[in-house]
Structure 1
Amino acid sequence: MRLFLAFLVGAIVGTERKFRHKPAGLRTHALVGLGAALFTIISVYGFLEFSGPPYYRANMDPARIAAQIVVGVGFIGGGLIFREKNQLSGLTTAASIWLTAGLGTGIGAGMYFTVFIAGILGFIALRLNRIFKSIGLDSLAEDHYSPHDDH
């Protein structure tokens, strides 16, 4: 159930990206969510045989695999960010990939309520441009990133 739910959540985030014609869409997000959940399930349940004697002093920490999900997905996200002249593109898609991995990790750990809230907030974040434009705050809806903006 956790794997299916992580796949589904990733597919939902990816569908929004696909409709916006972004480089990483439905399949990419679905695979990232599924993979993150799988690694989390493995880290939590895959090593139970080593949690008791004589291995209990082997410094077992299931969070190590989850920490590596963050790093590994960062490499995927980095490949989605492009710089052309003074404009950066792909940052939101890279962030959505990172969020999808977090959602998958949370589902793999069984943290359904937390994932539900984070998923809703993530979907709202992906829609902020449209929300701001609809209420007349067009200047806040601009998603242009320039390396010279951070003074």
Structure 2
Amino acid sequence: MDLIIADIIPESRIHYPVIFARLFGAIVFGGLIGFEREARDRPAGFRTHILISLAAALFAIISIEAVHMPGFTDEQVRIDPLRVIEAVTAGVAFLAAGMIVFARGRVHGLTTGAGMWLSGAIGLAMGFGYWPIAFFTTIVAICVLFAFGKLEQRFGFNSGQRVDRDEHK
């Protein structure tokens, strides 16, 4: 029974309360960006951004833990946490690309896709324990999405009402 318990709760390089705090931080920060997207009635909103940020944080935490696993300490086995960053970046970029649609001569979903990609990066920052960077980036992202969104509305940019120049030739 002790072996089973040891397998269920293995020793960890990062203490479990810290892991859970990092995951919770990824949920909060990803959720803040997703909330803004949800408020604008975009297809990838609150839950999507939370899941992306949470998954990225988990991948980062697992990569830290994997580097220190007993089975991977052999000199022939090398674990590179940068590959996790690359994999998360590529995976989230794939999801984000699915949000981008070209219709009627206009691109739609680009900001939502960028927000998804940024949520992944924030999740990675949280997973690696860079709370200040994740927090600052989240605040800046919300300011960009909210404040610049208001400016775009005020001046008619991205409103869908601008006419394509080629239509009036």
TM-score normalised according to structure 1 size: 0.84
1:69 CA drift (Å): 0.1
| Cα distance in 2, alignment partners of residues 81 and 18 from structure 1 | 16
Note the alpha carbon deviations across 1:33-64, whole angstroms, 9 max, x for none. Answer: 10000000001113312564xx1343321111
Q: Is the 8 A contact 1:43 1:65 kept in 2?
A: yes
| Identical aligned residues as a percent | 32
Q: Is the 8 A contact 1:10 1:34 kept in 2?
A: yes
1:66 CA drift (Å): 1.5
Q: Does 1:75 align with 2:94?
A: yes
Q: Does 1:5 align with 2:25?
A: yes
Q: Does 1:123 align with 2:123?
A: no
Equivalent in 77, 80, 84 of residue 61 of structure 1: 80
**What SS does structure 1 have at the residue aligned with 2:80?**
coil
> Number of residues paired by the alignment?
140
| Cα distance in 2, alignment partners of residues 68 and 144 from structure 1 | 34
Q: Is the 8 A contact 1:7 1:34 kept in 2?
A: yes
Match of 1:99? 118
Higher-Rg structure is 2
1:115 CA drift (Å): 1.1
| Cα distance in 2, alignment partners of residues 132 and 97 from structure 1 | 20
1:97 CA drift (Å): 0.2
Q: Is the 8 A contact 1:33 1:101 kept in 2?
A: yes
Q: Which has the higher helix share?
A: 2
Note the alpha carbon deviations across 1:2-34, whole angstroms, 9 max, x for none. Answer: 111101111111111011000101110010010
Q: Does 1:26 align with 2:41?
A: no
| Cα distance in 2, alignment partners of residues 131 and 143 from structure 1 | 10
| Cα distance in 1, alignment partners of residues 49 and 145 from structure 2 | 14
Q: Does 1:40 align with 2:60?
A: yes
Which stretches in structure 2 are left out of the alignment for 5+ residues? 1-20
| 4+ residue runs over 2 A deviation | 49-52, 56-60, 131-134
**What SS does structure 1 have at the residue aligned with 2:28?**
helix
Q: CA RMSD in A?
A: 2.1
